[in-house]
Amino acid sequence: MGFLNRPYVTVTIPMYNSASFIGETIQSILSQTFTDFELLIYDDHSTDGSYDIAASLADSRIKLFRNSENIGPEANWNQAISQVRGKYVKLVCGDDILFPHCLEKQVAVFDDPRNAGVSLVSSQRTIIDPSGKTLIKKVNFVDGGRMDKVEVIRKMVRMGTNIIGEPVCGLYPAELIAKISGYSAVVPYTIDLDFWIQMLRHGDLFVIDESLCAFRISDLSWSSRIGDLRYQQFMEFMEQAAADESHGVTDLDLFIGKINCAVQSMTSLMGFKLFASSASERKNMRNAS
């Protein structure tokens, strides 16, 4: 298609065995108040009917692809951003949700000339369970507004956690994809943070202080599957961030971050295990009834 027919935004979903949630995820994207987008779905050879569910949804903005074999999250995420046509890009995992005004409000930030030099727009997020029930209405690790790279990274290290948000939280310019090295799962837990930091080498972060999306905790989510490794992997991320002098991370930042990381990891792990236990109990009750 010619330049005039390009969508303004590309939303892309790297999908694998998301049959329980993918229909809801896709519908949340198709129901956006901002409508000038394409939706690319890359199925990583799912075995649970995810592809058929996605294929059953008729909308001219959807383009569906299927890998002939399973290539894994890192390769599929990079494939998912390899053919974008929009000016801006949002990657959404196959179990997360966009609230109706998400694209509209994030695009508006980029379109505001006062925000020239911003390379990543993020928002706060809601945490939901598999049934869509709200567990945390608004995760707020950082105030809204504009922050430069050094401010973001130092605060992230000090807090010992992801203050920007999961992939569903972010929107970024497509032109930057060619200037970075893409998604890297060398440290799986921080695949999104590594990507965000690459984006922030080219501009500032703008945070919308409103929950515009939902991150789902389920036993299928990547975060829950690697929950036990969270501390080790986030520590590795912090050490890497501190080693880069351009990030401005001090020894005190790292010391405080290590303490907070331990607390955050313990809390997250307890939460995941509590969730897994209650989910198992609910399943057993259903089977017994």
pLDDT digits (tens, 9 = 90+) for 117-141: 999 999 999 999 888 999 889 987 8
Check: CB of residue 102 under 8 Å from CB of residue 123: yes
Sequence-distant (6+) residues with CB within 8 A of 59 are 30, 39
More confident residue, 156 or 285: 156
> What domains appear along the chain, each with residue ranges and CATH number?
3-288 (3.90.550.10)
pLDDT at residue 272 tops 80: no
Question: Cα(first)–Cα(last) distance of the chain, in Å?
Answer: 55
Q: Alpha-carbon distance 41 to 51, whole Å?
A: 9
What Rg, from alpha-carbon coordinates, does the chain have? 19
253, two tokens:
């930042």
More confident residue, 266 or 282: 266
pLDDT at residue 229 tops 60: yes
Helical axes 191-200 vs 149-159, angle rounded to 10°: 150
Check: CB of residue 241 under 8 Å from CB of residue 197: yes
Q: Alpha-carbon distance 187 to 239, whole Å?
A: 12
251, two tokens:
């020894």
| Best CA proximity match to 271, nearest among 229, 227, 232, 211 | 227
More confident residue, 39 or 239: 39
Q: What percent of the chain has pLDDT over 70?
A: 87
Question: Which whole-number Å values give the CA distances from 123 to 2, 33, 48, 232, in the listed order?
Answer: 32, 17, 31, 27
Check: CB of residue 178 under 8 Å from CB of residue 78: no
Confidence class for position 76, pLDDT limits 50, 70, 90? very high
Q: Other C-beta atoms within 10 Å of 104: how many? A: 13
125 in helix, strand or coil?
strand
110, two tokens:
């980029």
CA atoms within 13 A on the CB side of 207: 20
Pairing of strands 9-15, 97-98: unpaired
Q: Alpha-carbon distance 252 to 250, whole Å?
A: 5
204, two tokens:
């500032």
* Type of residue at 94: G
pLDDT, tens digit, 9 for 90 and up, residues 31-62: 999 999 999 999 999 999 999 999 999 999 99
pLDDT at residue 11 tops 90: yes
Helical axes 251-288 vs 230-243, angle rounded to 10°: 150
Per-residue pLDDT averaged across 193-198, rounded?
93
Q: What is the DSSP letter of 117?
A: T
